[in-house]
Structure 1
Amino acid sequence: MLIVLAAGVWFALPHASGWLGLAKDETGTPEAVPPTRFRASSRAAGHPAGAAFDGFTNRFWAPADDGPGTGRGQYLECDFEQPVRVLKLVVFPGVSSKADEFLTQARPARITVRLTSADGTSVDRKLRVKDQPGQQTFDLRGSEIVRARLTTETTYGAGPGRRLAVAEVEFFGRRP
């Protein structure tokens, strides 16, 4: 019996750090892991991609006029200075977290988040964003992430003269 127990411990040791990391992810509070570089599919004058990652909800990213104003296919993309373990994504849709300003432009309804790891592999996750102002938090897991892209699939309030708007995007997780 002792030999079987010793063999079990021997084979379990290589996996112990992964189990401990999982326990830390589940019980600890993730820290902000802000990206360092930002891009977008396009940008409206005065609304660059960096406005969605600046820590303020009174500035926003908006793409250039896409004709019908649907926002479909428009994206925000960011890079992290070093690989991070992503655990949560926070999105503030619209032009502001203030209710009276929120409905003035189109907002993302469904987005696809693509997380790319340091080895080049990617994983996609589809998220449904509620049509309400303020913070919306999503569980989003990825290890060794160096790039994230948020692509709008559908929008709320789209139409001529109305641009897609995202006030803020924040990532939370762990640094190595």
Structure 2
Amino acid sequence: MPGPPPGAPPPASPEPAPPGPVAATVRCPGCGTANEAARTLCVRCALPLAPGPAPAAAPPWWRRLPRRGAWQAPLAGTRPRRSRRRPRIVLPLVLVLLAVGVWFGLPHAGSLLGLAREETSRPESLPPSAVRASRSLKEHPATAAFDGFSNRYWAAPEPGATLEAEFGLPGVRVTKLVVFSGTSAKKDEFLAQARPARILVELVSADGDTRTRRLTLKDQPGQQTLTLRGSKVTHIRITPETAYGTARGRHLALAEVEFFGHRS
């Protein structure tokens, strides 16, 4: 290739390009490595390059009880703070309530145990220690209603006479009353005399408290079982108030009375 002609000026050399802007860097506060300004974690140790302001001090525990914020995971590269144990008030409150319940429940513990016994054990027969009646026919005394035979009966001249049973101290817990109405459990003898229709039952406890129940009997022969509840009962009085089959010359007949429950 031929060179430049003689006397021609030499070609101009290319001018160097102006230096570009220096990339900004951020130095890691942990290991000192320079990192690009756009990074948030150190390229070497992963520590935050701009941790931001220090966290505010946590408020007292009693201010944190009404509202508790959601748990936040610690930032990568930071050691999670050890959580402080917060006092628990639920357990002490439950213990206080239990103590109060036991304190007020002690006077009624015996009654509660008695009720549990009623529900779990079979009631037993409670024969009275003594019986009597306010009025009765000579051939049909009060003892005939408690002798265990349904073909012998107590006879009253008319409704209003009382039949009474005593149990003595400390009393009994009564749950059931069994009655055989009329003169006999046999159907052909049952209608021979008048029969109690509604009876008033009074239960007297050892402390003198009296509870009354009005019970209605069916006009049918055989056993009739009625619910009757009383605690520490020492005396029971039965008063026939109305009767079936009343007529001139007929008296009121009650063949058998039995009490069931538990000895105190």
Give TM-score, length-normalised by structure 2. 0.62
2:124 matched to which residue of 1? 31
2:55 matched to which residue of 1? none
1:43 matched to which residue of 2? 136
* 8 Å contact kept, 2:145–2:254: yes
Q: 1:10 aligns with which of 99, 102, 105?
A: 99
Percent of aligned positions that are identical:
55
Listed as ranges, the matches of 1:114-153 within 5 Å are 114-153=202-241
1:162 matched to which residue of 2? 250
Q: Secondary structure at the match of 2:252?
A: coil
**Which has more strand, going by share of residues?**
1
C-alpha offsets along residues 53-82 of structure 1, whole Å, 9 cap, x if unaligned? 11111110002x3xxxxx221110110133
CA apart distance, 1:41: 1.6
CA separation in 2, counterparts of 1:53 and 1:12?
44
* Unmatched segments (≥5 aa) in structure 2: 1-89
CA apart distance, 1:107: 0.4
2:113 matched to which residue of 1? 20
Give TM-score, length-normalised by structure 1. 0.91
RMSD: 1.3
C-alpha offsets along residues 94-149 of structure 1, whole Å, 9 cap, x if unaligned? 11111111000000000000000111110110000000001111111111100000
**Dislocated runs of 4+, deviation >2 Å:** 1-13, 15-21
Quick check: 1:74 aligned with 2:164?
no
Q: Aligned residue pairs: how many?
A: 170
Q: Which has the higher contact order (CA 8 A, sep 6+)?
A: 1
Q: Secondary structure at the match of 1:19?
A: helix
